[in-house]
Amino acid sequence: MTPPRSSRMSPVIHSLVIRWMILLIVAFTRSTTDASRRQLTSSRAVSATARSDRRNDAGMSTAEYAVGTVAAVGFAAVLYAVINSSATRTMLANLVKQALSAPF
């Protein structure tokens, strides 16, 4: 059974949500592989860890941006569903009718 048209997500928003989910998975996978690189020995380990930590800091910013973007896409999907509801359409149509029928 398919849900009514008003509750289904548009294909464009669905595609964006899928892409950002893949981006999040890639971002978090990269951060775990950086952790495995830290298991070096000798004096190279200290410098490699310092470089890796700098990269991880940049990666965290990317992951934070990705999470924020996914949240924004989710909010956009909810807003899209609200705007496309019949109650909202009726309210907006009445508002436009009142504005156009106002005396000058």
**Locate tokens 């950002």: which residue?**
20
pLDDT for the residue numbered 16: 76
pTM of this structure: 0.36
Quick one: tokens of 98? 């009142």
Q: Assess contact for 43 and 37: CB atoms under 8 A.
A: no
pLDDT tens by residue, 18-72: 777 777 777 766 655 555 555 544 556 556 555 655 555 555 677 888 888 999 9
